[in-house]
């Protein structure tokens, strides 16, 4: 991770209150201040209901803030919805069915994602042989046979292949910020480990800036240069670089015992 004078992401007093003005009013994100520099890979931990998904939804634009600001590349995107942030943010969800068009082929999905955030005249709408060869090279890196299924409808893929496709689509053009929302949680252990390995490699080779929610404490320790724990809508703990490398599983378990 390289320090930058202009952060990739800034959350300033980010607050989300639901059911405002009613007896059921609740603060689910509580004046969160958070900064990511270019190349940061942050793993995010927290119990169910702690606010992890709210945290990502606020960044993605799928959940509006009650107060505070979200800045990406120095641009105030607080008022921009999810669709208007897609030229800056890519997201891979927990559910393999999300993020891909089931009736379109693998190659067609990839062509669509290659055009994301670009002027149409800069990216061909035609699925040429050269383009398909390029896509095959990309998906072959996933190591799950996806390269042999470019002409297959995405709805016919296995869950692991579909999630691998979602990841390639999210990173085919370098986003300012990559959000990984428990993207391996629905997969079997072997498939999950393979996707995490490729995820880590792609983030480092392409120098992506990424946030990854996980429930797996060992994965949170193994991957990324920063780790945060969210509890009750606040960032309660953070470790980075050498401090993160010195953390052990028992250290994380001790933190969770406090909540």
Over its length of 259 residues, how does the chain's per-residue pLDDT go in tens digits? 544 468 999 999 999 999 998 999 999 999 999 999 999 999 999 999 999 999 999 999 999 999 999 999 999 999 999 999 999 999 999 998 888 999 999 999 999 898 775 555 445 567 888 888 889 998 998 888 898 999 999 999 999 999 999 999 999 999 999 999 999 999 999 999 999 999 999 999 999 999 999 999 999 999 999 999 999 999 999 999 999 999 999 999 998 888 7
Q: Which pLDDT belongs to residue 4?
A: 46
Kindly calculate the radius of gyration of the chain based on its CA atoms and give it in whole angstroms.
Answer: 19
Determine the 3-state secondary structure of 82 from DSSP. Answer: coil
User: Can you tell me the distance from the alpha carbon of 41 to that of 210, in angstroms, rounded to the nearest whole number?
Assistant: 5
Burial of 157 (0-12, 13-18, 19+ CB in 10 A): buried
**Would you give the DSSP letter of residue 230?**
E
| Bridging pattern class, strands 89-92 and 177-181 | parallel
Q: What is the token pair recorded at 223?
A: 């991957």
Q: Which pLDDT belongs to residue 117?
A: 56
Q: Which pLDDT belongs to residue 145?
A: 87
Q: Which pLDDT belongs to residue 5?
A: 63
Residue found under tokens 């989300």: 16
**Are the CB atoms for 210 and 37 separated by under 8 Å?**
no
User: Can you tell me the distance from the alpha carbon of 58 to that of 219, in angstroms, rounded to the nearest whole number?
Assistant: 24
Q: Which pLDDT belongs to residue 154?
A: 94
Axis-axis angle for helices 106-114, 159-171 (nearest 10): 20
| Sign of the alpha-carbon torsion through 214, 241, 39, 135 | negative
Q: What is the token pair recorded at 211?
A: 């946030």
Domain extent listing, the chain: 96-174
The candidate with the shortest Cα–Cα distance to 70, out of 163, 133, 7, 150, is 7
**Are the CB atoms for 91 and 99 separated by under 8 Å?**
yes
Q: What is the token pair recorded at 112?
A: 């669509």
């Amino acid at each position: 991770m390289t320090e930058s004078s202009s952060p990739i992401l800034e959350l300033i007093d980010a607050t989300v209150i639901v059911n405002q003005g009613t007896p059921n009013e609740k603060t689910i994100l509580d004046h969160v201040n958070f900064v990511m520099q270019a190349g940061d890979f942050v793993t995010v931990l927290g119990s169910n209901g702690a606010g992890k998904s709210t945290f990502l939804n606020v960044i993605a634009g799928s959940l509006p803030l009650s107060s505070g600001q979200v800045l990406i590349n120095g641009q105030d995107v607080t008022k921009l919805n999810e669709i208007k942030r897609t030229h800056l943010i890519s997201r891979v969800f927990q559910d393999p069915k999300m993020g891909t068009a089931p009736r379109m082929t693998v190659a067609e999905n990839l062509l669509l994602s290659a055009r994301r955030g670009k002027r149409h005249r800069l990216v061909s709408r035609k699925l040429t042989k050269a383009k398909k060869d390029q896509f095959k090279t990309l998906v072959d890196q996933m190591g799950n046979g996806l390269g042999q299924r470019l002409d297959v409808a995405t709805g016919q893929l296995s869950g692991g292949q579909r999630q691998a496709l979602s990841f390639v689509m999210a990173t085919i053009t370098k986003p300012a910020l990559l959000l990984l929302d428990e993207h391996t949680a629905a997969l079997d252990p072997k498939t999950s480990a393979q996707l995490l390995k490729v995820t880590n490699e792609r983030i480092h080779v392409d120098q992506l800036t990424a946030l990854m929610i996980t429930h797996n404490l060992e994965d949170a320790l193994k991957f990324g240069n920063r780790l945060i724990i969210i509890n009750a809508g606040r960032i309660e703990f953070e470790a980075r670089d050498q401090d993160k490398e010195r953390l052990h599983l028992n250290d994380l378990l001790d933190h969770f015992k406090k909540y």
